[in-house]
Amino acid sequence: MDHLVRDSLIVPTKLGPFRVQYSPRGISRVEFPSACSDGLRPPKTAAPPPLFIRKFSSRLRRYADGKPVRWSVPLDLSAGTAFQQAVWRALKTIPRGETRSYGWVAQKIGQPKASRAVGAACGANPVPVIVPCHRVIASDGSIGGFGGGLPLKRRLLQIEGVRF
């Protein structure tokens, strides 16, 4: 069991407020604006957030403004299974402004029959936007699913220049 102390903060953006959870290892969860509607009181912390969180907050705001960013922040993805972590690594190779299918991801991780499991791993992605699960669509070109809702998925892809 992971006993690392975790903290969180709210990052206001043009897309809405994101809740970011982190540990000393890195960012462990990014919650979409739709999941942050429970009062949005900033958490009480004894110390200011670490530098990597302040940099991430700035990049997240830039991203929401439609500007390209490089997500060079430490991540704590230790809660994921080996399969999920393989999927998440593959997702990080999908370039901004491009999409790939669930089948492509399954091929990329060496499990070509695992498209459905890839979809489940995308849904379990704890750090969306940084690990761009929104760039994964169905093989027929339809948008597929998304934990933040399809309107937000379309908006994120639009921000990145993907046209449907």
Give CB contacts under 8 A, 24+ apart, made by 154-161.
155/15, 156/15, 156/129, 157/99, 159/63, 159/64, 159/66, 160/96, 160/97, 160/135, 161/96, 161/97
pLDDT digits (tens, 9 = 90+) for 106-137: 999 999 999 999 999 999 999 999 999 999 99
pTM of the predicted protein model: 0.88
Closest Cα partner for 124 from 78, 159, 84, 91? 84
Q: Which of 27, 133, 152, 157 is catalytic?
A: 133
Is 36 part of the annotated catalytic residue set? no
Report the percentage of the chain scoring pLDDT > 70. Answer: 88
> What confidence score (pLDDT) does residue 42 get?
53
82-159 to CATH, choices 3.40.50.1580, 3.30.2310.20, 1.10.10.10, 1.25.40.390: 1.10.10.10
- pLDDT tens, N- to C-terminus, the chain (164 residues): 445 557 999 999 999 999 999 988 999 999 987 655 555 455 555 567 889 999 999 999 999 999 999 999 999 998 899 999 999 999 999 999 999 999 999 999 999 999 999 999 999 999 999 999 999 999 999 998 898 899 999 999 999 999 87
